[in-house]
Structure 1
Amino acid sequence: MKIKYNPKLKELARQLRNNATKSEIRLWQKLKRGQMYSYDFHRQKPIDNYIVDFFCNKLQLVIELDGYSHQIIEVWEKDVLKTKKLNELDIRVMRFSDHQIMNDMSNVLRAIESYILQFEETGVLPLIKDYGV
């Protein structure tokens, strides 16, 4: 599926890739080069009018990492709108906190793996559960 995006976001996405957070770097080490069941993930990917942390086109899966600022109500409200828009594009969104990435990576990877296995078993995009962000 061809993903449309706002071309004005391309340079910002490049800057975000070059200035990744510790949790983004840590998760990227597990996702890059097809390490997750050979699926191709991209980081800081423009989609529509948003930039998502990680995206796999074949799985139609976005993975977002939420740091401390995401606890602020205005940021949280923007996250809700972003997730809603991505869902309207038939893209699923998984959210994990920086704390989960830094302290519970094995369960984060199990959650992603569970999504992949459900997708491979059914051929249908699984619904996303709340992973405790």
Structure 2
Amino acid sequence: MKEFLTEINGFPIFKNYLENLPYNPKLKKLLSGKRKAGILSEVIFWKQVRARTFHKIDFDRQKIIGNYIVDFYVKNLGLVIEIDGWSHDNKEIYDEIRQTYLESLGLKIFRITDFDVKHNLSVVMRELEQFIIKNYGF
């Protein structure tokens, strides 16, 4: 029986907690630098989801999973949120390998663009709701 997490637009959302995800401690020293860099789209998104303000769901920012640092992670759902900006240009193969690896761990990935976060935030948040309902709803 799945454990109830929250409700989004009348749909019950159930936990999909994945235990024992791989973790490379050598990446820890990069975390504070990435957070301090203050990438605008990440800051904007973080303000929408921090402190359980988005449907009472707990988001982590800059989470190490294996040999990667993901932009945002929802532990109770096994959900990675990636904001693709200019740093992803010409990195399609790297992104594909990274996504395949994360999905092999049982994680779901929700990708959004830097542009959409900056210019279409309400659409991004609705799409995130729909993604969560589709993947974690009953």
CA distance in 2, matches of 1:120, 1:81: 24
Give the RMSD, CA atoms, in angstroms. 1.3
The answer to which structure has the higher strand fraction is 2
Residue identity in the other structure for 2:38: A
Tell whether 2:39 aligns with 1:21: yes
CA distance in 1, matches of 2:20, 2:54: 22
Residue identity in the other structure for 1:61: L
CA distance in 2, matches of 1:35, 1:119: 20
- What is the CA-CA distance between 1:120 and the residue it aligns to? 4.8
Residue identity in the other structure for 2:79: L
Q: Secondary structure at the match of 1:59?
A: coil
User: TM-score with structure 2 length normalisation?
Assistant: 0.81
User: 2:25 aligned to 1, 7, 14, which one?
Assistant: 7
Residue identity in the other structure for 1:47: I
1:43–1:55 CA contact under 8 A, matched in 2 = yes
Instruction: Within 5 Å, give how 1:36-55 maps onto structure 2.
Output: 36-55=54-73
User: Which residue number in structure 2 is paired with residue 129 of structure 1?
Assistant: none
> 4+ runs of 1 displaced by more than 4 Å?
none
1:65–1:95 CA contact under 8 A, matched in 2 = yes
Runs (5+) with no aligned partner, structure 2:
1-18
Residue identity in the other structure for 2:125: L
| Larger-Rg structure | 2
1:60–1:92 CA contact under 8 A, matched in 2 = yes
User: Which residue number in structure 2 is paired with residue 64 of structure 1?
Assistant: 82
User: Which residue number in structure 2 is paired with residue 76 of structure 1?
Assistant: 92
CA distance in 2, matches of 1:120, 1:12: 31
User: Which residue number in structure 2 is paired with residue 125 of structure 1?
Assistant: none
User: TM-score with structure 1 length normalisation?
Assistant: 0.84
Using CA pairs under 8 Å that are at least 6 residues apart, name the structure with larger relative contact order, 1 or 2. Answer: 2
User: Which residue number in structure 1 is paired with residue 11 of structure 2?
Assistant: none
